[in-house]
Structure 1
Amino acid sequence: MTKKSAPGGRKQPDGGMPDRETILRFVAEHPARSSKRDIAKAFSVRGHDRVLLKGILRDLEDEGLLARRRKQLVRPGSLPPVTVLDITSRDDDGYLIARPAEWPEDGSVPPAVLMRHNRQAKGKAKAPSAGIGDRVLARIFPSDNDVGPAYSARVMKVLEKQRGALLGVFRATPGGGGRMEPIERRGKEITIDIDGVGKAEDGDLVEVETARSGRYGMLRGKVLSVMGSVASEKAISMIAIHAHGIPYTFPAAVLSEAEKAKPVSLGKREDWRKIPLVTIDPFDAKDHDDAVYAEPDDNPENPGGVVVYVAIADVSHYVRPGSALDGEALKRGNSVYFPDRVVPMLPERISNDLCSLKEGVDRPALAVRMVYSAQGRKIGHTFHRVMMKSLARLNYAQAQAAIDGAPDDKTETLLDGVLRPLWEAYAVLGRGRDRRQPLELDIPEKKLRLKEDGTVDKVVIPDRLDAHRLIEEFMIQANVAAAETLEKKRQALIYRVHDAPSLAKQETLREFLKTLNIPFARAGQLRANSFNGVLSKARDKPYEIMVSEMVLRSQSQAVYSPDNLGHFGLNLMKYAHFTSPIRRYADLIVHRALIGSLGLGEGGITPKEEDALEEIAAEISTFERRAMAAERETVDRLIAHHLAERIGEDFDGRVSGVTKAGLFVSLQQFGADGFIPVSTLGLDYYIYDEAHQALVGEKTGKGYRLGDSVEVRLAEAIPLAGSLRFEMLSEGRKLPTATRSFHKSKRGASKSNGARKRRRRGY
Structure 2
Amino acid sequence: MPKPPRRPASGLPDKETLLRFLREAGEADKSDLARAFGLKGEDRRALREMLRELEAEGKLGKRGRKGFSEAGALPPVGVVDVVERDVDGEMYVRLVDAAADAPRALLVPDRTGQAGAAPGMGDRMLVKFERGPDGWEARMVKKLDVGTNRVLGVIRKSNKETRVEPVDRRSKDVLIIPQLLAGDLRDGDLVLASIERSDNRYGPKRGKILENVGREDDPRAASLIAIHAHGVPTGFSEAVEREAEAVELPTLKGRDDLRDIPFITIDPADARDHDDAVYAMRDDDPKNEGGWIVWVAIADVAAYVQGGSSLDREARAKGNSTYFPDRVEPMLPERLSNGLCSLKEGENRATLAVRMVFDKDGRKTGHKFHRGLMRSHAKLSYEQAQSAIDGIENGGGTDDTTGPIMEAILYPLWNAYHTMLKGRMKRSPLAIESPERRILMAPDGGIAAIVPRKSLEAHRLIEEMMIQANVCAAETLEQKKTPLIYRVHETPSQEKIFNLADFLSTIAKPWNKGESPTTKRFNKLLDETRDGPHAEVVNEVVLRSQMQAIYSPDNVGHFGLNLDRYAHFTSPIRRYSDLIVHRGLIRALKLGTDGLTDREIAELQAIAEQVTATERRSMAAERDAMDRYVAAFLEDRVGATFEGRITGVTRFGLFVRLDETGADGLVPVSSLGNEYFTHDDRAHALVGERSGQRFTLGRRVEVKLKEATPITGGLLFEMLSDPEPRDPNAQAPRLGVRARDRGPGGNGPPKRGTKRPGGPKPPSGGRPSGGLKGVRKGKRR
TM-score by length of structure 1 reads 0.78
Q: Does 1:340 align with 2:308?
A: no
| Cα shift at 1:683 | 2.1
Please point out which of 454, 463, 466 is paired with 2:457: 466
Please point out which of 335, 339, 343 is paired with 1:349: 335
Query: Structure 1 residues 735 and 279 mapped into 2: Cα distance closer, same or farther (>3 Å)?
Result: farther
Asked whether the equivalents of residues 690 and 733 of structure 2 are also in contact (C-alpha less than 8 Å), the reply is no
Aligned to 2:347: 361
AA aligned opposite 1:104: E
Asked whether the equivalents of residues 165 and 210 of structure 1 are also in contact (C-alpha less than 8 Å), the reply is yes
Aligned to 1:186: 170
| Cα shift at 1:478 | 0.2
AA aligned opposite 1:465: L
Give the alignment of 1:653-664 within 5 angstroms. Answer: 653-664=644-655
Tell me the SS of whatever aligns to 1:363: strand
| Cα shift at 1:693 | 1.9
Aligned to 2:198: 213
Tell me the SS of whatever aligns to 1:734: coil
**More contact order relative to length (CA 8 Å, sep ≥ 6):** 2
Please point out which of 445, 454, 466 is paired with 1:475: 466
Q: Does 1:493 align with 2:484?
A: yes
Tell me the SS of whatever aligns to 1:368: strand
Asked whether the equivalents of residues 304 and 374 of structure 1 are also in contact (C-alpha less than 8 Å), the reply is yes
Asked whether the equivalents of residues 369 and 381 of structure 1 are also in contact (C-alpha less than 8 Å), the reply is yes
Asked whether the equivalents of residues 689 and 743 of structure 1 are also in contact (C-alpha less than 8 Å), the reply is no
Give the alignment of 1:268-417 within 5 angstroms. Answer: 268-405=254-391, 406-417=397-408
| Cα shift at 1:264 | 0.6
The whole-number CA distance in structure 1 between the counterparts of 2:83 and 2:337 is 32
Query: Structure 1 residues 390 and 109 mapped into 2: Cα distance closer, same or farther (>3 Å)?
Result: closer
| Cα shift at 1:385 | 0.2
The whole-number CA distance in structure 1 between the counterparts of 2:202 and 2:239 is 43
| Cα shift at 1:735 | 5.6
Deviates more, 1:645-654 or 1:249-258: 645-654
The whole-number CA distance in structure 2 between the counterparts of 1:583 and 1:454 is 25
Q: Does 1:169 align with 2:154?
A: yes
Q: Does 1:620 align with 2:606?
A: no
AA aligned opposite 1:110: R
Aligned to 2:731: 741
Asked whether the equivalents of residues 706 and 716 of structure 2 are also in contact (C-alpha less than 8 Å), the reply is yes
Aligned to 2:225: 239
| Cα shift at 1:573 | 0.5
RMSD: 2.9
Please point out which of 643, 647, 651 is paired with 1:652: 643
The whole-number CA distance in structure 1 between the counterparts of 2:264 and 2:410 is 9
Asked whether the equivalents of residues 689 and 733 of structure 2 are also in contact (C-alpha less than 8 Å), the reply is no
| Count of residues in correspondence between the two structures | 623
TM-score by length of structure 2 reads 0.76
The whole-number CA distance in structure 1 between the counterparts of 2:146 and 2:230 is 12
Query: Unaligned 5+ residue runs, structure 1?
Result: 1-9, 11-73, 88-94, 116-149, 151-159, 757-763
Asked whether the equivalents of residues 170 and 205 of structure 1 are also in contact (C-alpha less than 8 Å), the reply is yes
Give the alignment of 1:124-203 within 5 angstroms. Answer: 162=147, 164-175=149-160, 177-188=161-172, 189-197=174-182, 199-203=184-188
Deviates more, 1:696-705 or 1:706-715: 696-705
Asked whether the equivalents of residues 701 and 737 of structure 1 are also in contact (C-alpha less than 8 Å), the reply is no
Aligned to 1:599: 590
| Cα shift at 1:699 | 4.4
| Cα shift at 1:584 | 0.2
Tell me the SS of whatever aligns to 1:233: coil
Tell me the SS of whatever aligns to 2:487: strand
Asked whether the equivalents of residues 294 and 418 of structure 1 are also in contact (C-alpha less than 8 Å), the reply is yes
Query: Unaligned 5+ residue runs, structure 2?
Result: 1-14, 16-56, 68-74, 100-135, 137-144, 392-396, 742-755, 760-781
Q: Does 1:261 align with 2:247?
A: yes
| Cα shift at 1:163 | 8.2
AA aligned opposite 1:368: V
| Cα shift at 1:743 | 5.5
Query: Structure 1 residues 198 and 239 mapped into 2: Cα distance closer, same or farther (>3 Å)?
Result: farther
| Cα shift at 1:718 | 1.9
AA aligned opposite 1:513: L
Asked whether the equivalents of residues 655 and 709 of structure 1 are also in contact (C-alpha less than 8 Å), the reply is yes
Asked whether the equivalents of residues 200 and 206 of structure 1 are also in contact (C-alpha less than 8 Å), the reply is no
AA aligned opposite 2:171: G
| Percent of paired sites with the same residue | 48
Aligned to 2:573: 582
Tell me the SS of whatever aligns to 1:688: strand
| Cα shift at 1:746 | 14
Aligned to 1:551: 542
Aligned to 2:551: 560
Q: Does 1:438 align with 2:429?
A: yes
The whole-number CA distance in structure 1 between the counterparts of 2:516 and 2:757 is 34
AA aligned opposite 2:545: S
Query: Structure 1 residues 302 and 621 mapped into 2: Cα distance closer, same or farther (>3 Å)?
Result: same
The whole-number CA distance in structure 2 between the counterparts of 1:743 and 1:478 is 56
Query: Structure 1 residues 663 and 478 mapped into 2: Cα distance closer, same or farther (>3 Å)?
Result: same
The C-alpha deviation readout for 1:482-513, integer Å capped at 9, x for no partner, is: 00000000100000000111222111111111
| Cα shift at 1:648 | 1.4
| Cα shift at 1:200 | 2.0
Asked whether the equivalents of residues 275 and 298 of structure 2 are also in contact (C-alpha less than 8 Å), the reply is yes
* Structure 1 runs, 4 residues or longer, greater than 6 Å off: 112-115, 745-748
